[in-house]
Amino acid sequence: MKFVCPKPQPWLAVYDSLKAAWAAAGSDGSPPPFPLILNGWMFSNDFDKNARWLGTIEWAAERNLSHLIAELKADDKYEVKEFSNRISE
């Protein structure tokens, strides 16, 4: 299986942690990328989801906040056999 991104709830938890740290540091620069959840999840494909997740990891690394992204449990991962261009799963 290929990892695409976290499922919506764990992804939102990561976002909330990153956004809180960003705000606590003075909200300097752009906020963390918003997770593709709810309609964002439904109207994006695997490639879009993966790109947004990788953008989140990069954003956190640039601000020395990678430690806020906990290792995901197996049930928290959205994985597929092959990435799809379809916009709804």
Token pair in block for residue 18: 């990153």
In a domain, 18, yes or no: yes
The answer to whether position 86 is within a domain reads: no
Residue 87 confidence (pLDDT): 85
Is the confidence at residue 89, as pLDDT, over 60? no
- Other Cβ atoms within 10 Å of 9 Cβ, number: 10
What integer pLDDT is reported at residue 88 of this predicted model? 61
Query: Domain residues for 8?
Result: 2-25+32-80
Rounded CA-CA distance 16/10 in Å is 10
pTM of the model: 0.94
* Residue 15 included in any domain: yes
